[in-house]
Amino acid sequence: MSPLLVGILVFVVFFLLIFFRMPVAIAMALAGFGGLVYLLSPGAAFETIGKDFHSTFSSYTLSVVPMFVWMGYIAFYSGIGEGLFSFFNKLIGHVRGGLLMAATMASAGFGAICGSPTAAVATMSSTCFPEVRRYKYDANLSAAGIAAGGSLAVLIPPSLAFIVYGILTEQSIGKLFIAGIFPGLLLMLAFIAAIYIVTWRNPALAPSGSRASWKERIIASRGVIAIIIIFIVVLGGLFWGWFTPTEAGAVGSAAVLAVALIKRKLTWQQFIDSIKDTTKTTAMVMFLVAGAQVLGRLIAVSGIAPMVASWLSSLPLPPIGILGIVLLICVILGFFIEVLSLTLIAVPVFYPLVVGVLGYDPIWFGVIWVVVSGTGMITPPVGLQVYVASGVTGIPVKDVFKGVWPFFYATLVCAALLIAFPEISTFLPSIINY
């Protein structure tokens, strides 16, 4: 068989392994290893997989992962998200759908100190859902809105998706973090607009609440001051080149830990649990990257990436049309593969085309990719965020999925705006000094 045919068969085997519920990291490594055995030799395949796993687990660049992951889990266990929701609830909770809007804004704030969407959804589900149900909000819409809001942590820095994209494409993780700030705020506003439109069309879904006094709002603002300071220090340090992304993660973790200890909101058992969860998540990411490197070797040897680039670039379409096809494929794959795995699998295939052939900015494409692939976090049948929200709130998964579609469309609108106005994501990185 030709190398190209072997590469295609390897991807068929890979998707079959996922279908039979094999972990994605192992499926990537096994499928890539099998293809390398056929195209090269068993000895070369074993040597390749050994080098890839060793280089991944000894990579200084990947040391940024445990830093930001631990930062998020400390915030999760210490209940920092409660203060965020309390403040935004006092600010806009009185308007129709205001509690869900406050939950979305709180999710964005929590995402600024947490790179884990799962932790963000779990935090906001336990914090916000009882309140929205007390005001007789629709359960399906409320759980879906909280699930969608948690996905903001994928885009708002620090983001594991940006870290993985930066490693795969050898782009500055710091610049990717900075590039995600304005798009993250834009996506937050798009979700708020979706809530407004849905509740305006059907007011029974979200009744108006009581208005808080300015005194209550000022008192509640104390819960967000520490988070704002941490965000400014971490992202500001990256922006002005005071420290590397790994150092920024360490500074952020230390700052969040200090806040939790000062407020006495972190028990010894929660501290231990945060370390355990960080270890599990870091190991998962490491194995995903190592497995993707093996599969990436197979992609390089088989010539799949050049073939895809040649085929798409030969279509009688302008560059924006070809980009649209790439993003459509991303959306479709996102229905079945979660965002980190999708990034590891598809970026090595499409990046040479979008950046190398079509000439788009690599930082801008990274932002677009993360936004679009993030739709898979709330869409059936995978929709990890939906399962987390369902598990915490007790709302059946199928009912939560019914409520996510306004947020899915809002994400696509956000992506369209980022394509039409690339400066939204490229302005801040263009003035960064490193």
Encode pLDDT of 134-192 as tens digits. 888 888 898 999 999 888 888 888 888 898 899 888 888 888 988 999 999 999 999 99
Q: Is 159 exposed, middle or buried (0-12, 13-18, 19+ CB in 10 A)?
A: buried
Q: Is 360 helix (H, G, I), strand (E, B) or coil?
A: coil
Q: Which of 25-39, 60-74, 210-224 has the lowest mean pLDDT?
A: 210-224
Q: At how many degrees (to 10) do helices 362-373 and 405-420 cross?
A: 170
Is the pLDDT reported for residue 198 higher than 90? yes
CB 176 within 8 A of CB 426: no
How sure is the predictor about 194, in pLDDT bands with cuts at 50, 70 and 90? very high
Whether the bond between 381 and the residue before it is cis, its omega within 30 degrees of 0, is yes
Inter-CA distances, 243 with 11, 121, 156, 239, Å: 40, 29, 19, 9
Is the pLDDT reported for residue 406 higher than 80? yes
For residue 12, how far is the Cα from the chain centroid?
26
**Nearest CA among 238, 115, 237, 109 for reference residue 175:** 238
List of residues 6+ apart from 254 with CB closer than 8 A: none
How sure is the predictor about 95, in pLDDT bands with cuts at 50, 70 and 90? confident
What is the torsion angle, in degrees rounded to the nearest 10, for the CA atoms of residue 164, residue 165, residue 169 and residue 173? -80
* Mean pLDDT for the stretch of residues 330-349: 85
How many helices (H) and strands (E) would you count in the chain?
23, 0
pLDDT at 243: 80
Is the pLDDT reported for residue 434 higher than 70? no
CB 96 within 8 A of CB 142: no
Q: Which of 205-209, 353-357, 425-429, 430-434 has the lowest mean pLDDT?
A: 430-434
pLDDT at 322: 92
Is the pLDDT reported for residue 112 higher than 70? yes
Q: Which of 13-22, 95-104, 220-229, 369-378 has the lowest mean pLDDT?
A: 220-229
Q: Tell me the C-alpha distance between 147 and 347, whole Å.
A: 25
**What pTM was estimated for this model as a whole?**
0.86
Q: Which of 195-209, 291-305, 404-418 has the lowest mean pLDDT?
A: 291-305
pLDDT at 188: 94
Q: Tell me the C-alpha distance between 153 and 184, whole Å.
A: 8
Greater confidence (333 vs 222) lies with 333
Greater confidence (233 vs 364) lies with 364
CB 83 within 8 A of CB 113: no
